[in-house]
Amino acid sequence: MKARAFQIAFLFCALATSSVLGQADVEFAKANQEYAQGFFKEAISGYETLVRAGQWSANVFYDLGNAYFRTGDFGRAVLNYERALVLEPHHPEATANLQIARDEAHALELQPGRLERYLEFASVNQYTVTAAVAFWIAA
């Protein structure tokens, strides 16, 4: 009797798992189609749904990174390319796109102003002398 109950439970779990995997494949195909049509925000939503459902794969994160890159969100693109590389370290497209996204992200950084550059490179002694001179002039 226990063996029969175990077989029924196993069969139920197998069917439920195949249903979830089939649904994930449909969602992945839908997100890929939206990406191909240029609907990047909708594709991001589809890929994020897969990630939240626990369907992690290097291809999902790679495609999610591509969608974020196309929308100009380079930080999230870098994050997802790195996630893809954690799951599949020798993913050549993710490696190449990661470098491109990092270059784009660095190109958007603001150049520091004159005061910021001075504050970055000045030593404690230089700050002390500057403060002493400022107080002496003010007095």
3-class DSSP assignment, residue 88: coil
Is pLDDT above 70 for 22? no
Is pLDDT above 70 for 35? yes
Q: Using a pLDDT cut of 70, give the percent of the chain over it.
A: 78
* C-beta of residue 94 within 8 angstroms of C-beta of residue 62: yes
* CB count in 10 Å sphere of residue 71: 14
User: CATH topology for 2-108?
Assistant: 1.25.40
The pTM assigned to this predicted structure is 0.63
Is pLDDT above 80 for 132? yes
Q: How is the chain split into domains, by residue range?
A: 2-108, 113-139
Residues 53-100 pLDDT 10s: 988 899 999 999 999 999 999 999 999 999 999 988 898 999 999 999
**pLDDT band for position 20 (cuts 50, 70, 90):** very low
Q: How many residues appear in the chain?
A: 139
**pLDDT band for position 14 (cuts 50, 70, 90):** very low
pLDDT, residue 17, reads 46
Q: What is the distance between the alpha carbons of residues 62 and 71, in angstroms, rounded to a whole number? A: 15
3-class DSSP assignment, residue 13: helix
